[in-house]
Chain A
């Protein structure tokens, strides 16, 4: 049905449906997010369960392979954490990426932040 041929009742009906979607989907989003967080809670609970019940060692510094890695004599990272080799392989620098977003905003894009 084209908009030209729509009768008065049909128009009101269409408005009603559209308003219904607008109102209901807004509420539904909140409900859905709440339900999704319950789902996430189940996964989180299993993580803590595994930490407490399945993993025999619970501190990183007690992992024998960590001790081997940082062994003061023969370890690959014998200088210890934050040593020279660590800085080469395990640490990094960051980049200022703000320019493109600033340009977007100047071009009239509205962002939330």
Chain B
């Protein structure tokens, strides 16, 4: 076990293992104080009390969506990660025969700075690219590029479903997004009958993995077999996604390793890089450039807004002058909106973050009462910026624990009979 940015990790990088059998998060029974916070934030009930003392455990891997909300909300730091590719990535970075490719997600650049003392949410995209270059990554490619690809693919799929609705052989409406790996395991596990409603698109990282070893290999003249792709995510469930058996469409494993924001911060510190003095740098061309539509994938409602920026122009044939579609921006719960597209009509959309909310929308679709064309789901409340792999909210660990103890002591003192 190793401590990385206040979270314990097992330094275990499984190879060729079925991710369905891996505990990506688990409770350290010696640190669990039986407060039940994890059970309350868990949407599925995978984490629960296992004995009279109220000690909690993830009872079975099949019920756990690997979202890590239990971990980021545990006030006692009792929940650890079961998988870490950090040592393997360091090894590959040192190997001159391996071409190591970076693939950071949008939300990483809004969390990483916090590990270096910057205010919550500080955007550190260019510094992140510079740090990756200093760490020795050979290609600084970016998952935001493939977020743009996702919009092209998923937006086109939505337009096809809407245009051909009711025709034979057309996939049904509403279309659900497929970017979030916690949500994907959730729908496969709890609502498999809804799978035809889920976009057939891979998530942006699934796309970048296969594009890097085909298109990227071709563009740079690099043999794909020498490439080692590192997915860098605000997320724990992405480790599961990277290990999915079918993610091998490039002819190799599309994603060789997955680390999260905390682990990247650890690597930067371990390598002795002074993050705060780095001058911002651009990513490498062809699979590095991105847009505002891509960066908003990091927040709940972002995929929806980015897709609508495309769908509006394709369906109406007109230019969308103001790309802000603020009605779909979602902080908590479920948000729905009607978006008027000239020459087409109304596109009805819903955005949900948190799997309990997702479940409500799933039940609605099953009952045939869903009025929507397009539904975005993110497993973590607020979206990826609040992912299970992001730096912890310092208040969760510090003030919650201290204030709970202080309150109990106060209450207890007040009740104590005067001697």
Contact = CB atoms under 8 A, between A and B. Distances in A.
A65 B287 contact: yes
Contacts of B239: none
Given A16-B412, A32-B75, A82-B160, A46 B289 contact: no
Contacts of A112: 42-45, 356
Contacts of B184: 94
Interface string B177-197: 000000011011110100100
A91 interface: yes
A95 B121 CA distance: 36
A51 B296 contact: yes
Interface string A34-69: 011101111111111111101101111111111011
Contact of A33 (B41, B125, B323): B41
Interface in A14-30: 16-17, 20-21, 24-26, 28-29
B151 interface: yes
A28 B286 contact: no
Given A59-B291, A104-B62, A86 B195 contact: no
B158 to A, nearest CB: 10
Interface stretch (B86-94, B265-273, B378-386): B378-386
A108 B99 CA distance: 49
Contacts of B120: 39, 42-43
Given A58-B293, A104-B60, A110 B152 contact: no
A92 B153 contact: no
Interface of A, helix, strand, loop or mixed by DSSP: helix
A55 B286 contact: no
Contact of B385 (A25, A47, A82, A98): A47
Interface of B, helix, strand, loop or mixed by DSSP: helix
Nearest to A32: B400
Contact of B332 (A37, A92, A104): A37
A41 B125 CA distance: 19
A92 B289 contact: no
Nearest to B411: A20
Given A52-B324, A90-B210, A100 B292 contact: no
A24 B408 contact: yes
Contacts of B160: 82
Nearest to B353: A40
Contacts of A46: 110, 121-123
B123 A65 contact: no
A97 B188 CA distance: 5
Nearest to A99: B62
A59 B320 contact: yes
Contact of A92 (B35, B36, B200): B200
A33 B42 CA distance: 12
Interface in B340-363: 356, 359
Given A65-B285, A92-B202, A37 B331 contact: yes
A24 B407 contact: yes
Interface in B213-260: 214-215, 218, 246-247, 249-250
Given A43-B120, A91-B200, 4 more contacts: A25-B404, A32-B37, A55-B292, A89-B214
Interface of B: 20, 35-37, 40-46, 48, 59-60, 62-63, 72-73, 75, 106-107, 110-111, 119-123, 125, 145, 147-149, 151-153, 155-157, 160, 184-185, 187-190, 192, 195, 198, 200-202, 206-207, 210-211, 214-215, 218, 246-247, 249-250, 285-296, 298-300, 302, 306, 309-310, 313, 320, 323-324, 329, 331-332, 356, 359, 381-383, 385-386, 393, 395-396, 400, 403-404, 407-408, 411-412, 415
